[in-house]
Copies of this chain bind each other. A is one copy, B any other.
Amino acid sequence: MDARTLPPVIRLSPEDGVVIARIAIPEATTVAEGVTTNRRIPPGHKIATRAHVKGEAIRRYGQIIGFATDAIAPGDWVHTHNCAMGDFAKDYAWGVDARPTPMITPAATFMGIRRADGRVATRNYIGIVTSVNCSAHVADLIADAFKRNPFTGQDPLAEFPNVDGVVALTHKTGCGMTMGEPLRLLRRTLAGFARHVNFSHVIAIGLGCEVNQLGPMLEEQKLAGRLRNMDIQEMGGTRKTVEAGIAFVKEVLAEANRVQREPVPASELIVALQCGGSDGYSGITANPALGAASDLVVRHGGTVILSETPETYGAEHLLTRRAVSREVGEKLVAKMRWWEEYTAREGAEMNANPSPGNKAGGLTTILEKSLGAMAKGGTTNLTAVYDYAEPVTAKGFTFMDTPGYDPVGATGQVAGGANLLCFTTGRGSVFGMKPTPSIKLATNTAMYERMVDDMDVNCGTILTGEESVAQCGERIFQLMLRVASGERTKSEGYDFGSSEFAPWTLGATM
């Protein structure tokens, strides 16, 4: 498609009173019916498509990004000179924007694996959880025994086509660590993986003398019946533990293989939302498109998990307005206060205000900037707020408190039970996370083409005008259903997802 024939603007939501300039637009250009620019508009900046009276809310992604500080006419450039947050951030306005979600019935279906406890899996792995770094290599040795050999093609799991693999989940902590919340958080994370629906069977391996003792962890997390556990010291060292681990896997393979996919409703989807390596297009292509797909997941009865708390900071008012209850909203606000304290203590800073560069790029307010990331969550009501790695049981649009850093954030979301993950990227990430398949969405066509071995979806089509945000969202939703049914993502093809297991570590290392 030739650049000169492309539509000059992008509409992110039908509810919006502004559109975004895809390219620099000269004065006196008609960009929509009855909307003609009255000055040059820089790329990424906003043009009003209807009149706003002074004080009226200005919406992008269907959400408030600020208020008119002056009367705004169709065709006007909208930026800091006529749009500001005003007193918005002084009032959490609990739930004022919550509204009934138009559900879609009957819900779409995918081919899932229904477990005995009723939960639905999208993959079928055997997991090896480790209590401490000291048992990491032993866990790897067990998992390696079931790995396909790239030289010979020999596949120890060839007879078990319904088993996706054996995954060792190793990390750097578990001892020399601070008691209290740091230890609780690690246990919650490990337990979340140990009970993940995408594992048919799990082994837990400890050393024996670590702070994070397996016994108390299994008891605290009520996991005792779910898994086989072994301590290397009790087993008599590396060789005996590896042999016992391999024997256990061999013992359960036939049973693990005995699963069948069957049609299940899309309401069984629990989708983790991530972005990493954002660029200037993230907020106008992949993130809003994923938001449109998130709205579809929710309208089909499923769950989406927005996270990355530091990227929501300062714009939490948008979510408190959509909260289904004051309690839910207050839990979110308490997280923001916790982060202020955490970052101050650690010599880091929380500041989401648009930088001069952001403003030059067209971002007017902190709300608009944060929405670039938050747009992934769509527009439905906020139904629950979770701690890092806490089991996600609510339906609808939920929030989990995590860092923005991809592996740590995604580890919390998957520990919470996500059975699908969608990851938008502008610069190009090669992320994957077992046992949950990760769909990677490129914000622009150039990067998509350059890293096509790693990208599952090109959302650059929105920029070129080939697709609307809604159309791209529908395409993502359809891919979600196929991936949940077993279609392999690019990162699964390269066996990503074990290195990326990264529990959030708090506290001192002693």
> A residues bordering B, Cβ < 8 Å?
133-138, 140-141, 144-145, 149-152, 154, 156, 170-172, 175-181, 207-209, 232-233, 236-240, 276-277, 310, 342-343, 345-348, 403-408, 427-432, 447, 450-454, 494-500, 502, 504-510
Contacts and interface: CB of A to CB of B under 8 A. Distances in A.
Nearest to A232: B430
Contacts of A144: 150
B140 A427 contact: no
A348 B236 contact: no
A210 B154 CA distance: 36
B347 A507 contact: yes
B502 A133 contact: yes
Copies of this chain, tallied across the complex: 2
Given A136-B500, A430-B138, A507 B453 contact: no
A140 B500 CA distance: 12
Contacts of A239: 453, 494
A136 B429 CA distance: 12
A233 B145 contact: no
A346 B508 contact: yes
Contact of A134 (B152, B176, B406, B509): B406
Contact of A178 (B232, B236, B346, B509): B346
Contacts of A238: 430, 453-454, 494, 496
B172 A430 contact: no
A26 to B, nearest CB: 33
Given A348-B178, A407-B172, A504-B509, A237 B454 contact: yes
B428 A233 contact: yes
Contacts of A151: 149, 152, 154, 156
A172 B178 CA distance: 18
A407 B454 contact: no
A274 to B, nearest CB: 12
Given A403-B508, A403-B509, 14 more contacts: A136-B499, A136-B500, A141-B495, A151-B152, A152-B152, A172-B505, A175-B405, A176-B404, A207-B277, A233-B447, A237-B428, A238-B454, A346-B506, A404-B510
A207 B406 CA distance: 13
A133 B277 contact: no
Contact of A347 (B156, B176, B180): B180
Contacts of A429: 134, 207
Contacts of A181: 347
A134 B407 contact: yes
Contact of A451 (B134, B237, B342, B504): B237
A453 B496 CA distance: 32
A35 B11 CA distance: 94
A48 B150 CA distance: 65
A115 B277 CA distance: 40
A408 B133 CA distance: 10
A176 B427 CA distance: 15
